[in-house]
């Protein structure tokens, strides 16, 4: 009986230990490193295991150098500096990549033949001959694939290989339907490529020069490519994808060295199998390394091959029978039967005495409950204290990483100089409570940038709390810039920034709550647009122009918004404009006219002069405002690829229509129903046209624009009473300058002295 109770106590201890510390306490830790220390192990969504790497210091050979293109979203890895895009790297010796398609399009008597060198690989890399097939698709097509192959790890340039296939049919539809989606020569042909090919060139052409009577009015295409055959299916769906695809998946083989194992092992310095639990095996292209049975990991790193816990993984060759207890060992495992069972654990585990097991179960439950209760009492308080310390540490870490110390110092300096405290740094607990734990029912806006929640602060103030989805530490300085710029703006038509929170992984911004959505939503929604009369639209334009004039002329130092668009103009219930999003804005020092900076903004609104020269001035805001003014007149989006080509760019289409005398053909139907508006519409159109001048010097200033729009509104008596008691705009910067408009009237507009252009140093990042 004694041995049984010893086993019971051991089993109870095992159960209690797992209850206290979770599954990780029962399992040995593994080394999950896939590359050397201090080396990047991924590019975007692709892991880059050693011997591949993104720097020469981390890679084993230059052939395994990977270039990560961070300009793409997400970032994408490429083989060295080539156009070969990597999608995955396997330590089993395979590399999945994307490569170009050779295309030959023809129709209506026109043929554009293309011959494209498909791939040229460095040594140790070859095209996989079993996974890939050479495919040609078309109704009058022959395709040739040729190149060179390797032998025993060396590139052989002679003899070369040449092969190909021919595809004929009356039409692709007949080929797909008649051949039941098979690629056998009718509309599609295929052939294999030789083993060890490192260079592949594709030639695509026609036997009859595409002289088919049923194709005179149709533009058709032929294609040729080497592709992973698991990703190819000759069907209508696949053909439609080919018309839009630029690249297709391809499987490459790689070896770690050019020699065979017997020769490579003689030189311990260059021998690549570094892990103690690894072994070498020959490959057609050289040799590779693998972890021994019972181990997994990276055999090219010291201690890279770690023990597999077969008791958890339970692969198909798992040998423990039902009821057996598995015990993991280094490189293997053992199977034993539990107490009151007979057998070896590999072939059988039979119950000896059911009544004794029931007794033992009761005993185990009692002891386990007692031990568990003791563990809860002993460790409960410690765990709670640990969690509090951990949470406090994380908040401090996020606060520092999000630039909290820098922001506090700069806000303190601003408060001391202006004696005003307008921006509050909230705690995470305050915003958690304000949004009811970021309840999904509080969501008022959501998009690619993140989520906006409606929150109720302690003083019952309704706020909009902006929570971004992504984490980009490179944008922290831009975030601080937005807070600082906002802290120095006090204008009735600017969305007020109440504060921010830096204790969370992603910084949170707290704004005043604007209830009626964006100008873009009202303009591009048919139902909402019908409620926007010409008077309301010109009121919004005048208020927006007033904000920009204030930023350029009254704020000190002046501010260039740099991202004016209809999405960044909010409307309250009375359709009062509220300008938002100052993340890209610039505080410009005096006595400077231009600033050299990275281009930021939104396509369709970007100043073409700024886009070409990288020189930012206040006239860049004038151009963007001109685009918004055209949106107000036409109700159209600034850039829409669903429209005909000549109408995709709203600015170009608007200018062309005005020059041709077709202005009223493109105006929004909701504002041209009253014939009495014709003169006013023409005047605003001329103002918009002046704002959209390609050359910045030919554009009016925001002072002039604001004065013209305000003068027009006074003549119309549309909203004179609304502005009669408007809030006095003021700057909270060091020296506030008054908004004085000294202007004189001419035949077509109001002329105002332009303010001096300014410059500021660039802040990294952009949108």
Annotated binding site for ATP: 467
Number of other residues whose CB lies within 10 A of the CB of residue 546: 27
Task: Report CA torsion sign: 470, 476, 477, 479.
Answer: positive
Contact 256, 300 (CB under 8 A): yes
Q: Output b/e per residue, 370-397; b: 16+ Cβ within 10 A.
A: ebeeeeeeeeeeeeeeeeeeeeeeebee
Q: Strands 341-342 and 332-336: what pairing?
A: unpaired
Burial of 231 (0-12, 13-18, 19+ CB in 10 A): middle
Measured CA distances, 104 to 101, 109, 217, 242 (Å): 10, 13, 17, 12
Q: Is the peptide bond before 206 cis (omega within 30 degrees of 0)?
A: no
Nearest to 487 by CA among 226, 752, 731: 731
Between strands 577-579 and 278-283, the pairing is unpaired
Catalytic one among 563, 581, 621, 668?
A: 563
Cα separation, 635 vs 330, in Å, equals 71
Instruction: Give the contacts of 285 (CB within 8 A, at least 6 positions apart).
Output: 124, 125, 126, 150, 153, 196, 253, 254, 255, 258
Closest CA to 561 of 552, 574, 553: 552
The Cα–Cα gap between 656 and 140 comes to: 44
- Extract the annotated binding site: 467
Q: How far apart are CA 297 and CA 276, in angstroms?
A: 12
Distance CA 300, CA 56 (A): 16
Q: Is 81 exposed, middle or buried (0-12, 13-18, 19+ CB in 10 A)?
A: exposed
Q: Does 563 qualify as catalytic in the annotation?
A: yes
What are 567's two structure tokens?
């999405």
Give dist(CA 614, CA 598) in Å, integer: 6
Tokens 């501010």, residue located: 559
Give me the helices (H) in 248-326, please.
Answer: 261-264, 310-313
495 touches 544 (CB < 8 A): no
Is residue 587 within 8 A of residue 602, CB to CB? The reply is no
Which CA distances in Å does 614 have to 551, 696, 759, 762?
21, 13, 12, 11
Residue 765 tokens, joined:
């990042």
Beta partners for 104?
222
Residue positions annotated with a catalytic role: 563
């Amino acid at each position: 009986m004694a041995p049984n109770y010893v086993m019971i106590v051991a089993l109870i201890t095992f159960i209690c230990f797992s209850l206290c510390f979770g599954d990780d306490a029962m399992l040995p830790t593994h080394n999950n490193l896939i590359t050397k220390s201090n080396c990047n192990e991924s590019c975007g969504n692709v892991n880059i295991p050693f011997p591949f790497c993104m720097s020469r210091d981390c890679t084993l050979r230059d052939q395994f150098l990977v270039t990560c293109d961070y300009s793409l979203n997400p970032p994408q890895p490429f083989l060295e500096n080539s156009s070969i895009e990597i999608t995955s790297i396997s330590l089993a010796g395979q590399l999945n990549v994307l490569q170009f398609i050779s295309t030959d399009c023809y129709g209506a008597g026109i043929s554009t033949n293309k011959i494209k060198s498909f791939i040229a690989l460095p040594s140790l890399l070859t095209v996989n001959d079993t996974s890939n097939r050479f495919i040609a698709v078309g109704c009058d097509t022959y395709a040739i694939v040729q190149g060179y192959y390797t032998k025993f790890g060396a590139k052989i340039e002679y003899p070369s290989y040449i092969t190909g296939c021919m595809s004929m049919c009356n039409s692709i539809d007949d080929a797909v339907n008649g051949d039941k989606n098979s690629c056998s020569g009718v509309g599609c042909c295929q052939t294999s490529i030789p083993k060890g090919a490192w260079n592949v060139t594709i030639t695509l052409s026609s036997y009859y020069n595409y002289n088919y009577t049923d194709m005179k009015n149709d533009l058709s295409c032929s294609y040729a490519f080497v592709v992973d055959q698991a990703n190819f299916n000759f069907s209508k769906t696949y053909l439609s994808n080919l018309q839009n695809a630029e690249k297709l998946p391809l499987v490459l083989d790689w070896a770690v060295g050019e020699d065979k194992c017997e020769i490579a092992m003689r030189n311990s310095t260059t021998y690549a199998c570094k892990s103690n639990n690894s072994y070498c095996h020959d490959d057609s292209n050289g040799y590779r390394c693998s972890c021994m049975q019972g181990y997994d990991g990276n055999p090219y790193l010291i201690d890279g091959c770690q023990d597999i816990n077969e008791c958890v993984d339970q692969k198909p060759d798992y040998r423990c029978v039902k009821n057996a207890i598995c015990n993991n060992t280094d490189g293997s495992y053992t199977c034993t039967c539990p107490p009151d069972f007979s057998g070896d654990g590999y072939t059988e585990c039979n119950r000896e005495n059911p009544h004794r097991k029931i007794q033992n179960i009761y005993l185990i439950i009692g002891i386990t409950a007692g031990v568990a209760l003791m563990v809860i009492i002993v460790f409960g308080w410690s765990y709670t204290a640990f969690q509090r310390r951990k949470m406090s540490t994380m908040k401090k870490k996020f606060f520092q990483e999000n630039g909290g110390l820098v922001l506090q110092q700069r806000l303190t300096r601003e408060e001391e100089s202006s004696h005003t405290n307008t921006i509050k740094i909230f705690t995470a607990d305050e915003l958690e409570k304000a949004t009811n734990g970021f309840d999904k029912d509080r969501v008022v806006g959501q998009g690619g940038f993140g989520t906006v929640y409606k929150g109720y602060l302690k003083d019952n103030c309704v706020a909009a709390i902006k929570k971004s989805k992504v984490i980009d530490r490179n944008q922290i300085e831009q975030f601080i810039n937005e807070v600082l710029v906002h802290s120095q703006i006090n204008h009735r038509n600017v969305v007020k920034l109440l504060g921010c929170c830096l204790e969370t992984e992603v910084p949170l911004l707290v704004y005043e709550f604007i209830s009626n959505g964006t100008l873009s939503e009202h303009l591009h929604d048919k139902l909402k647009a019908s409620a926007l009369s010409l008077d309301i639209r010109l009121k919004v334009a005048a208020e927006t122009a007033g904000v920009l004039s204030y930023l350029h002329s009254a704020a000190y130092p002046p501010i260039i918004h740099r991202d004016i668009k209809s999405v960044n103009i909010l409307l309250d219930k009375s359709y009062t404009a509220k300008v938002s999003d100052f993340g890209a804005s610039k505080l410009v020092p005096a006595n400077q006219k231009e600033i050299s900076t990275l281009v930021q903004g939104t396509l369709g609104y970007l100043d073409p002069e700024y886009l070409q020269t990288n020189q930012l001035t206040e006239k860049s805001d004038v151009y963007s405002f001109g685009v918004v003014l055209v949106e107000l007149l036409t109700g159209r989006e600034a850039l829409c690829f669903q429209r005909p080509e000549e109408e995709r760019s709203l600015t170009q289409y608007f200018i062309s229509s005005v020059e041709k005398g077709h202005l009223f053909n493109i105006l929004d139907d909701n504002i041209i129903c009253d014939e009495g508006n014709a003169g006013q519409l023409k005047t605003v159109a001329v103002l918009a046209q002046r704002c959209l001048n390609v050359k910045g010097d030919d554009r009016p200033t925001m002072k002039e624009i604001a004065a013209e729009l305000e003068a027009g509104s006074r003549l119309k008596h549309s909203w004179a009473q609304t502005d009669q008691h408007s809030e006095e705009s003021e700057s909270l910067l060091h020296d506030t300058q008054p908004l004085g408009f000294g202007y004189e009237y001419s035949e077509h507009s109001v002329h105002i002295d332009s303010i001096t252009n300014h410059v500021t140093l660039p802040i990294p990042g952009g949108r």
